[in-house]
A and B are shown apart, each in its own frame.
Chain A
């Protein structure tokens, strides 16, 4: 159990277009979802925390209007990269936290989405 999926797994888009990435918890209700960004050979940087039905909390330095996060249901959160530019090219990973998960494994990670902006 506790599977998180992401779609798409990879996407290539033109500069100036918007891209939406979906994160789904397949077999549990995710009260909280996290979005991370990772550059090659670097650490995961938390971008934002989203709770179902409320506005996302963005980390310092992350542009809210650039990275739109919606957590409309207990199983789905979306990240939209608006007006994407080449510097937005990165690996985006989501994770989800469910109700009553044991503290020793509270977050389950999606497989990631590789975004390339041309």
Chain B
């Protein structure tokens, strides 16, 4: 079964500190893609970072990095130097390689609150 699990419903972090949001996935596909999206209170989905299953290096995009541990089937998001504007809901998602439509499967989400 294809599944994404985010076990942290809510997280707090102090401004300027780093925070790790957990994501584990389950798939029997050899090829797949992993995504992280940010959803602020306005509702829009903002793409943050992508990791392909065959990528040997962890993806990085500015303050965002993805800690990809393939054997453990985990794809944690690390946000460095948190800012107040990072307060939002964060979703981990997987695009199964076996899907020819490119559909995404989303985790339950983690609400991050950055404290000043």
Q: How far is the CB of B109 from chain A (nearest CB, A)?
A: 5
Expressed in whole angstroms, the Cα–Cα distance for A50 and B94 within the complex equals: 19
Q: Contacts A32-B101, A97-B102 given: A114-B43 contact, CB under 8 Å?
A: yes
- 8 Å CB contact of A107 from B89, B104, B111: B104
Assess the A106–B95 pair: CB atoms within 8 A.
Answer: yes
Q: Write out the residue numbers on chain A whose beta carbons fall within 8 Å of the beta carbon of B44.
A: 109, 111-112
**Residue A44 interfacial (CB < 8 Å):** yes
In the complex, which range does the number of interface residues on chain B fall in?
Answer: 20 to 34
Assess the A109–B45 pair: CB atoms within 8 A.
Answer: yes
**Residue B106 interfacial (CB < 8 Å):** yes
**Residue B12 interfacial (CB < 8 Å):** no
Task: Enumerate A9-56 residues with CB–CB distance to B below 8 Å.
Answer: 32, 34, 41-46, 49, 51
In the complex, which range does the number of interface residues on chain A fall in?
Answer: 20 to 34
Q: Write out the residue numbers on chain A whose beta carbons fall within 8 Å of the beta carbon of B60.
A: none
- Most chain B beta-carbon contacts within 10 A, residue among A32, A34, A51, A104: A104
**Residue A83 interfacial (CB < 8 Å):** no
Q: Write out the residue numbers on chain A whose beta carbons fall within 8 Å of the beta carbon of B37.
A: 109
For residue A97, which residue of chain B has the nearest CB? Answer: B102
Expressed in whole angstroms, the Cα–Cα distance for A114 and B101 within the complex equals: 26
Q: Write out the residue numbers on chain A whose beta carbons fall within 8 Å of the beta carbon of B50.
A: 103-105
**Residue A58 interfacial (CB < 8 Å):** no
Assess the B103–A46 pair: CB atoms within 8 A.
Answer: yes
Q: Contacts A42-B108, A44-B106 given: A49-B101 contact, CB under 8 Å?
A: yes
Q: Contacts A49-B103, A97-B102 given: A105-B109 contact, CB under 8 Å?
A: no
Q: Write out the residue numbers on chain A whose beta carbons fall within 8 Å of the beta carbon of B105.
A: 46
Expressed in whole angstroms, the Cα–Cα distance for A46 and B52 within the complex equals: 22
Expressed in whole angstroms, the Cα–Cα distance for A41 and B105 within the complex equals: 17
What residues make up the interface of B, taking CB atoms closer than 8 Å to A?
Answer: 33, 37, 42-45, 47, 50, 52, 89, 91, 95, 101-109, 111
Among all A-B residue pairs, the 3 with the closest Cβ atoms: A104-B50, A109-B45, A112-B43
28 CB-based A-B contacts, threshold 8 Å? A34-B103, A41-B89, A42-B108, A42-B109, A43-B91, A43-B106, A43-B108, A43-B109, A44-B45, A44-B106, A46-B104, A46-B105, A49-B101, A51-B101, A57-B101, A91-B43, A93-B43, A95-B104, A104-B50, A104-B52, A105-B50, A106-B33, A107-B102, A107-B104, A109-B44, A111-B44, A112-B43, A112-B44
